Amino acid sequence: MNSLQGLLYGLSIAATPSNLLAAFVGAFAGTAIGVLPGLGPVAGVALILPLTFSLDPTAGLIMMAGIFYGSMYGGSTTAILLNIPGESASVVTAIDGYQLAKKGRAGATLTIVAVGSFVGGTLAVIGVMMFSSLLAKVAILFGPAEFFALTAGGLIVMSRISGGTLASALLPMTLGLMLGTIGQEAVTGETRFTFGLPDLAEGVSLVPVVVGLYGFAELMLLVEDRAHAANRPESVKMRDLLPTRTEWKRAVPSWLRGTFLGFLFGLVPGPAATLASFASYRLEKAASKHGSEIGSGAIEGVAGPEAANNSAATASLVPLLALGIPFTPIAALMISAMLVQGIQPGPLLITQHPEIFWGLIASAYIGNVMLLALNIPMVGVWVSLLRIPHYLFIPLLLVLSVIGTYSVRNSIFDVWVLLAAGIVGYAFNKMKFQLAPLVVGLILGPNIEKHFREALFLSQGDPWIYVESPIAVGVWLLVAAILIAGFIARRRAAFADAMAQESSL
Amino acid sequence: MTPARSFGLPPARRFTGLLALLLAGTYGFDTWQTLSFGRWHKPGAAIFPIAVAALMALSAISVLLERRSGPDDPMPATFALPAGADLRRLLLVLAAFAVYFVAMPYLGNMIASALFLLASMWLLSDDPNRSIVRLAITAVVIAVTFEVFFVRLLKVQMPAGVFKQWLF
């Protein structure tokens, strides 16, 4: 199946009435959760993702894509209307978006964002088609040693690019690895660390950990923080939604620049959407005719970064699905949802399950189309959601998190895990430990162990197997290069800071 | 709103590091005692957990040895926890949440959800004139909607409880 056939096949699956309904519900729920005051898209997605588990895998994944893109759009809405970026990728959107809203252009800005996201997502799908065939050729060369290099190397890289200090990522990551060793191990079937509890024999389920760490912990922070409750946006009327001819004209080059930049960032493993939006903002300042206005409410400052982060989000599906390593919290949530649906992302996905790979790419596209159809006419609804009081939506989401968690294995024990993970997530948030490495450790830990031991079985105990193949060596060299580049960048930044301080004295 | 209580971040992180070190020791010891190591050509179930225990000890030590680089350190010096009425409210919501899913197998999902929704909405509402009747109606409407949507429509298996025969 070539790329075009693959995409057409994926679209034929995604475009059935039931799957379109799943895309609609996902996009609607994702946007709704993304705009809820004080609740970021990551927490929101974590809370409603279990809804997708009750559907068949295809519809579940399509709904998940809708939730993913919807939540990103919802995050941008709060950035523009309230100056509260729902997620890190929307930080730059808030700068000019909020200034534009103060000038009375909130509706037009939301339209520019919706269309820009659509343009970014659409062009990125075309780019993904071109790269996927190359990926399929490399994928069949992977054995246990290469998989071990990929997963263990990915984990090491993750510990350095997730932000904060090394210790802030390493400790949660190791905790995740530890949790991953509980239950029956994959190679010989031996049971470990269950302490006689039958509920632990199957291991710690990913869903309660993810929902607890991101969703429940965030709700706990909201319970204690009532400052957001006072923040109320202005209403946006339908007639305000149409941008002027000048605004359209100024947005188009920014969308195209942002899409191209975002696509390149998306192919590199890492927090692509965030990096792409920041890079696009800088590019717009340098390349746009109106660069000097950016920062004080220019449409280019919103159009470029939003197209860039959407394009990066779509393109990042390639490393996400091909490597099976989540580098961002949202990606970790998506991987966990796929694992629950019985899909193991990784290099073999595109060759062994092309229908899933292309189905997901197509559903990402359908999600974008759905958002365009949904968001502009319904902007008034999203704005009114921003006014829902905390005392209503926090209990509602808590009930939703319990239903979602319980439904995966019909286990009250999992709901206790949700509570425990929520308390750990709350404490880690307060103490500035990273949460994403914990989830990634839990996801990758069992795979790392499996590939490590299988490689030794295959080589009859010869440890050189890990560095024998060119692919394994290439992966380890890439990991070393990323770590060294990160180290140099941090040293340079520290040096520049020191010089700036010295010159200011 | 009650002012939050401020705590030193470095001591809190060091305490976490100490707990992690303790966890690494216990986990490593349990692995050593209960799991097989196997041979090089047939590695046992203990190999990976031992590596994880060592990594946990290493990360715990790295947290314990952290030093602040002065006022410019990006890591804040303190963190805030709720106090007084805010802390009480948070703990009460957590307690209500725990009671909710302990009671769920007996009362069933719908009744337990309605009671939890009512209790938590009451605890979280800032309005001194809040009406228990209005909150109760809202709670019942949400609980019934969830029951119809998830349990009846999407066929999600939730505990029905002892009142099963009287509901729906």
- Residues 89 to 148 of A: which have CB under 8 A from any B CB? none
Query: Are B79 and A431 a contacting pair at CB < 8 A?
Result: yes
- Residues 366 to 425 of A: which have CB under 8 A from any B CB? 389-392, 394-396, 398-400, 402-403, 406-407, 410, 412, 415-416, 419, 423
Is residue A120 within 8 A of residue A306, CB to CB? The reply is: yes
For residue B142, which residues of chain A lie inside 8 Å, CB to CB? 396, 399
Mutation test of the interface with chain B: which of A390, A396, A405, choosing the one with the most B Cβ atoms within 10 A?
A: A396
What confidence tier does A173 reach under pLDDT thresholds 50, 70, 90?
A: very high
DSSP symbol at A53: G
pLDDT at A178: 95
pLDDT at A231: 55
Q: How many CA atoms lie within 13 A of A360 on its CB side?
A: 28
Out of A183-187, A377-381, A452-456, give the one with best mean pLDDT: A452-456
Q: Quick one: average pLDDT of A408-417?
A: 88
In this model, does residue B13 exceed pLDDT 80? Answer: yes
pLDDT at A387: 75
Which residue among B42, B117, B146 sits closest to A457, beta carbon to beta carbon? B42
Region class of A386: left (phi > 0), else alpha (psi between -120 and 50), else beta:
alpha
C-alpha to C-alpha distance for A103 and B94, rounded to whole angstroms: 43
* Least confident interval from A304-313, A335-344, A449-458: A335-344
C-alpha to C-alpha distance for A466 and A228, rounded to whole angstroms: 51
Closest approach of chain A CAs to the CA of B138, in angstroms?
A: 9
C-alpha to C-alpha distance for A264 and A127, rounded to whole angstroms: 10
The answer to whether B67 faces chain A, any CB pair under 8 Å, is no
Query: Are A190 and B150 a contacting pair at CB < 8 A?
Result: no
For residue B100, which residues of chain A lie inside 8 Å, CB to CB? 402
Concatenated DSSP letters for A313-329? Answer: HHHTHHHHHHH----SH
The answer to whether A460 faces chain B, any CB pair under 8 Å, is yes
Domain range list for chain A: 3-468
Query: Are A167 and B59 a contacting pair at CB < 8 A?
Result: yes
In this model, does residue A393 exceed pLDDT 90? Answer: no
* Least confident interval from A39-53, A74-88, A224-238: A224-238
The answer to whether B107 faces chain A, any CB pair under 8 Å, is no
